[in-house]
Structure 1
Amino acid sequence: MRQSNLYVILFAIGLTVVFGGALSLTSVGLKPLQDKQVELDTKKKILGAVMDISTIEDPNEILSIYNEKVKSMVVDINGNEVTTDAKGNPVVAEKVNIQKNYKFDPQERMYPVFMFSESGEGVDAYIFPTFGAGLWDWISSYVAFGSDLNTVKGIAFDHKGETPGLGARITDPKVQNRYIGKEIFNDQGELVSITMVKGEGNAGLTEHQVDGMSGATITGKGVNAMLEAYLECYSAFIQKTKSQKTASL
């Protein structure tokens, strides 16, 4: 019996080592493919905020368009460009994990800025990633502004677990298109963001308001809080860029 028990234990240990090693090797082997998929997904979301890429199926074409039309940088909450992290490693905007950054104090986060140019010259749109909490889990967006850094050119929302047919509608192009043409600064130059109001078919909406989603009030509030918080964090960069544009005229 003792030999039998020892055999069983050794056999179990052997299986654990063999299968553990196999899983480890598989994970290492798949990592480049996983990283490539994450890169593609990120760049699709960024482009999706400023142009229609729904009919483009070839991943290489997506990447080619991105490389041709998008430049990027990372700034801190004061609007200053960040080129290296605390360890001295180069910082790449596309590799900044917004979800992990969200856990840090806003003063310590890194803020990617993506600059879209249709012709490759100048900047036609500035794209900012945002992250926050919805009803059940996280929500996020890439919001694009025109060269005035005020008027929305497009927005691409995403979520993990909002209710289908209700809060999950933030990914519906019809909902996202409501933001196009809206403004985040009032006539006094104050940052007021854009508010998704309660209900749909509201009359008299201002340039700082969009219709809500029926039955998804909490998701709407989460979207509002997310946009307001992140636009405030990007406000220093926005003001600096506007000042530079004015000075160059």
Structure 2
Amino acid sequence: MQRSNTYIIVFSAVLTIILGLLLSGTSVVLKPLQDKQVDLDNKKKILGAVMDISSINDPNEILALYEKRFSSIVIDINGKIVEKDKKGNPVIAEKVNIQKNYKVAKDERLYPVYQFVSESDPSKIEAYIFPMWGAGLWDWISGFVAIESDLNTIKGVAFDHKTETPGLGARITSDQIKDRYKGKKIFDDSGSLVSVSMVKGEKGLPLDDHHIDGMSGATLTGKGVNSMMLNYLECYKTFIEKTKKGGVSMVQAN
């Protein structure tokens, strides 16, 4: 039976509304689960910057370990602890979206600082973990850089990416590349912040305290990592210098 144009239009509109409501409802139902998974993934990366968690498969164990060994604060570009946002709401490090902050001017960003504390003495900080975001060859790259309590020596790193080339730039997530950063220094002998740079090419030669071997065929990804690390460490520099002098009180905990 032939339908009128009005019937077809009304039917299509009703169907579109129903499907839209179903999709919207599904999104609302799934969002808490998605947020929980994002939170778990971030905590795994933070933990991965300071210890080997490859043998831990239970999410509850990951969360318990994080709860036991980490505290956190949020600072501004001047190294001052930020406890509330402009609306007066509490600021929580684990809920700061680094990707969104990356699009904001440096002096207006929020900068989370994660503190890896001693298992026997929670008041003793063994490492500081600084999250960062940048651009790789094809899309975003991100990282968590852990600095020893001397606030100079790299304890470990955890990098991630969206679409770097498999076997080339994607190697930034491999243990082989991450291990090269361990023990390197972000300040030179004169006290200037120089970060740690990945050189061009991969020769397997020993390098100084501020350089690591590169990745063959992935020069642009390496440059992206270098730029990301230097840019963000410069943003954390004032906090680092204040903390070295005992000028920042670690007051917030997760």
Q: Does TM, scored on the shorter chain, surpass 0.5?
A: yes
Residue 48 of structure 1 corresponds to which residue in structure 2?
Answer: 48
The offset of 1:55, in angstroms, is: 1.2
- Hey, which of these two has a bigger chunk of helix by percent? 1
- Secondary structure, in 3 states, of the residue corresponding to 2:160? strand
5+ residue gaps in structure 2?
248-254
Instruction: State how 1:165-184 maps to structure 2 within 5 Å.
Output: 165-184=167-186
TM-score after normalising by structure 2: 0.94
Which amino acid in the other structure matches residue 134 of structure 2? G
Residue 218 of structure 2 corresponds to which residue in structure 1?
Answer: 216
Q: Which whole-Å CA distance do the structure 2 matches of 1:14 and 1:204 have between them? A: 68
Residue 108 of structure 1 corresponds to which residue in structure 2?
Answer: 108
- Secondary structure, in 3 states, of the residue corresponding to 2:60? helix
Q: Which whole-Å CA distance do the structure 1 matches of 2:139 and 2:217 have between them? A: 17
- Secondary structure, in 3 states, of the residue corresponding to 2:156? strand
Residue 91 of structure 2 corresponds to which residue in structure 1?
Answer: 91
> 2:32 aligned with 1:32, yes or no?
yes
Residue 6 of structure 2 corresponds to which residue in structure 1?
Answer: 6
Which amino acid in the other structure matches residue 172 of structure 2? I
Q: Which whole-Å CA distance do the structure 2 matches of 1:118 and 1:51 have between them? A: 13
Which whole-Å deviations, capped at 9, do the CAs of 1:39-66 have from their partners, x for residues lacking one? Answer: 1011111001001111111111111100
Q: Which whole-Å CA distance do the structure 1 matches of 2:3 and 2:181 have between them? A: 72
Pairs aligned (count): 245
Which whole-Å deviations, capped at 9, do the CAs of 1:160-187 have from their partners, x for residues lacking one? Answer: 1111111111001100100000000111
Runs (4+) of structure 1 exceeding 4 A deviation are: none
> 2:82 aligned with 1:59, yes or no?
no
Q: Tell me if the contact between 2:205 and 2:213 (Cα under 8 Å) persists in the aligned partners.
A: no
5+ residue gaps in structure 1?
none
Instruction: State how 1:93-242 maps to structure 2 within 5 Å.
Output: 93-119=93-119, 120-242=122-244
Q: Tell me if the contact between 2:115 and 2:126 (Cα under 8 Å) persists in the aligned partners.
A: yes
Which amino acid in the other structure matches residue 18 of structure 2? V
The offset of 1:188, in angstroms, is: 1.0
Which amino acid in the other structure matches residue 135 of structure 2? A
- Secondary structure, in 3 states, of the residue corresponding to 2:44? helix
Q: Which whole-Å CA distance do the structure 1 matches of 2:32 and 2:197 have between them? A: 40
The offset of 1:121, in angstroms, is: 3.2
Q: Which whole-Å CA distance do the structure 1 matches of 2:59 and 2:206 have between them? A: 42
The offset of 1:203, in angstroms, is: 3.0
Residue 80 of structure 2 corresponds to which residue in structure 1?
Answer: 80
- Secondary structure, in 3 states, of the residue corresponding to 2:246? helix
Q: Which whole-Å CA distance do the structure 2 matches of 1:118 and 1:47 have between them? A: 13
The offset of 1:158, in angstroms, is: 0.4
Q: Which whole-Å CA distance do the structure 2 matches of 1:45 and 1:141 have between them? A: 8
Q: Which whole-Å CA distance do the structure 1 matches of 2:6 and 2:212 have between them? A: 69
Which whole-Å deviations, capped at 9, do the CAs of 1:198-238 have from their partners, x for residues lacking one? Answer: 11125341000100000111111111111011000000000
Q: Tell me if the contact between 2:184 and 2:196 (Cα under 8 Å) persists in the aligned partners.
A: yes
Which amino acid in the other structure matches residue 197 of structure 2? T
**Percent of aligned pairs with the same residue?**
63
- Secondary structure, in 3 states, of the residue corresponding to 2:144? strand
- Secondary structure, in 3 states, of the residue corresponding to 2:232? helix
TM-score after normalising by structure 1: 0.95
- Secondary structure, in 3 states, of the residue corresponding to 1:201? coil
